[in-house]
Amino acid sequence: MSLPTIPQAQTAAGRAPLPLPRALTFTPDDWRILTRYWYPVALSSEVTGGPFGATLLDVPLVIYRVGGEGPGAGALVVADDLCPHRGTKLSLGQDQGDGEGIRCPYHGLRFGAAGRCTAIPAHPDGAIPERMHLRTYPAVERYGLVWTCLAAEPGDEPQIPAVPHWDDAGFQQINCPWIDIEAFAGRQIEGFLDVGHFAFVHHETFADPGNQVVPEYMPVPTADGFEAEYWSTVSNLPAGTTLEVPEDFLWLRHYRLHVPFTGSLVVYFPGDIRLSLMNAASPVSATRTRLFDARCRNFDTDQPLQEVYDFNLQVFNEDRRVVEQQKPENLPLDPALEVHIPADRSSIAYRRALSAAGLSEFFTA
Ligand code: FES
Ligand SMILES: [Fe+2]
């Protein structure tokens, strides 16, 4: 499926340069680099009409639909969560239920398609100043998520990492509810890529506490990060599954890392059975992350989804407990600052890929 290019009207083109956020938790240089990437900011299903509030890279955003209510319906708007009139948070407003967009909760100004101000109730016959329109960002729905980019240029192709098999016949598409993590997105993704922690962190979900050895593997650079094929006997059977897999089965996990904070993983079960999942760690700030999940599978497709949600929440929380306490809170990109073991090849490749993108230390707060 090809993604649309960004329409001129949905970009900040012609506006003042994107200002640094009021509460900046990154270094300005790192923040500017990070704003060039695409991140999910909501589940498609939670933006019904609107307004829905989210924060990306310290920038408060309001998300709403004009002319439709469900996922994929109407025109989706991602804009600064800030009324140009007196700086009120637009996400405090209410869905007007008329399909025409949102209303500021302070003086009732209306905002519709492409963030245009469409009505000033105090002066219904007056002209609407150009500066009363919202600063908007591109909005793309893909993999059940709403994606945006703060610094996209008109005509840019959305750079949204792939969820392998998502559109393949026989695969069930699933979005687990997001979770908030009080930690840096890089720490979360480092954990996603880590193959040495299963026996110690996930022994109550899918791993065997006695299976601790990490066989050799080798990450390979890609255009936007790296990939790694990891073979081991660590199983990946979810709770409640109907699948049975021999104990000595050799599992392949194919990881792909997309700079800066998105990882995907395809787990090869026996035969052509696959589980494919994406973890997109959306950086709310340098110390807070909203973890989005999009996954698909061609087994257990008639099992209740609540079981999938519950199982994954348990796995996410197992990781969260560790990640929220790591020090330093950021990800040291200088390899000399930490001690490494051969099992860390992916987390070293991750640091190299972030360094190659020009990133430094990520945050100051
Ligand atoms: S502050 Fe939004 S309408 Fe006045
Ligand atoms: Fe984990």
- pLDDT tens digits for 37-47? 999 999 999 99
Q: For residue range 288-339, what is the model confidence (pLDDT) as tens digits?
A: 999 999 999 999 999 899 999 999 999 999 999 999 999 988 888 888 888 9
Q: Return the domain boundaries, the chain.
A: 8-148, 172-356
107 lines ligand 1 (CB under 6 A): yes
Cα gap 294→314, rounded to integer Å: 16
What is the atom index within ligand 1 of the atom nearest the CA of 104? 2
Cα gap 153→6, rounded to integer Å: 8
pLDDT band at 13 (very low <50, low <70, confident <90, very high): very low
* Ligand 1 mutation target, pool 80, 88, 94, 118, most atoms within 8 A of CB: 88
More confident residue, 32 or 4: 32
> Is the pLDDT at 9 greater than 70, yes or no?
no
Stretch 143-169: mean pLDDT: 95
Helix (H, G, I), strand (E, B) or coil at 75: strand
* Ligand with minimal distance to 321 CA: 2
Cα gap 109→103, rounded to integer Å: 6
* Residues contacting residue 64 through CB under 8 Å, at least 6 positions apart: 47, 49, 50, 51, 52, 76, 77, 95, 101, 102, 111
> What pLDDT score does 238 carry?
83
> Is the pLDDT at 19 greater than 50, yes or no?
yes
Q: Are 347 and 193 in contact (CB under 8 A)?
A: yes
Alpha carbon of 179 to ligand 1 centroid (Å): 32
> Is the pLDDT at 132 greater than 60, yes or no?
yes
Domain 8-148 CATH (choose: 1.10.3720.10, 3.90.230.10, 2.102.10.10, 3.40.640.10): 2.102.10.10
What is the atom index within ligand 1 of the atom nearest the CA of 120? 3
Cα gap 44→162, rounded to integer Å: 17
109 lines ligand 1 (CB under 6 A): yes
321 lines ligand 1 (CB under 6 A): no
Q: Which residues pair with 262 in a beta bridge?
A: 258, 280
More confident residue, 357 or 8: 357
pLDDT band at 8 (very low <50, low <70, confident <90, very high): very low
Q: Are 257 and 226 in contact (CB under 8 A)?
A: yes
Number of alpha carbons in the 13 Å side-chain half-sphere of residue 153: 1
What is the atom index within ligand 1 of the atom nearest the CA of 86? 1
121 lines ligand 1 (CB under 6 A): no
Q: Are 189 and 257 in contact (CB under 8 A)?
A: yes
Report the nearest-CA residue for atom 4 of ligand 1: 107
> Is the pLDDT at 10 greater than 80, yes or no?
no
Alpha carbon of 326 to ligand 2 centroid (Å): 14
* Ligand with minimal distance to 205 CA: 2
117 lines ligand 1 (CB under 6 A): no
Angle 350-152-295 from CA coordinates, rounded to 5°? 50
pLDDT band at 260 (very low <50, low <70, confident <90, very high): very high
106 lines ligand 1 (CB under 6 A): yes
Q: What is the largest CA-CA distance in the chain?
A: 76
Place of tokens 């049975």: 244
What is the atom index within ligand 1 of the atom nearest the CA of 109? 3
Q: Are 135 and 144 in contact (CB under 8 A)?
A: no
Measured CA to CA in angstroms, residue 4 lies from 48, 139, 169, 191, 264 at distances of 22, 10, 23, 32, 22
Angle 266-271-274 from CA coordinates, rounded to 5°? 25
86 lines ligand 1 (CB under 6 A): yes
> Is the pLDDT at 50 greater than 70, yes or no?
yes
> What pLDDT score does 365 carry?
44
Nearest to 224 by CA among 281, 280, 263: 263
* Ligand with minimal distance to 117 CA: 1
* Ligand 1 mutation target, pool 107, 118, 132, most atoms within 8 A of CB: 107
pLDDT band at 11 (very low <50, low <70, confident <90, very high): very low
172-356: same fold as 8-148?
no
Stretch 38-63: mean pLDDT: 96
> What pLDDT score does 318 carry?
98
* Residues contacting residue 330 through CB under 8 Å, at least 6 positions apart: 184, 186, 187, 286, 361, 362, 363
Stretch 56-79: mean pLDDT: 92
Q: Are 257 and 193 in contact (CB under 8 A)?
A: yes
pLDDT band at 148 (very low <50, low <70, confident <90, very high): very high
275 lines ligand 1 (CB under 6 A): no
Report the nearest-CA residue for atom 1 of ligand 1: 86
Alpha carbon of 110 to ligand 1 centroid (Å): 9
* Ligand with minimal distance to 316 CA: 2
CATH code that applies to domain 172-356 = 3.90.380.10
309 lines ligand 1 (CB under 6 A): no
> What pLDDT score does 363 carry?
52
* Ligand with minimal distance to 320 CA: 2
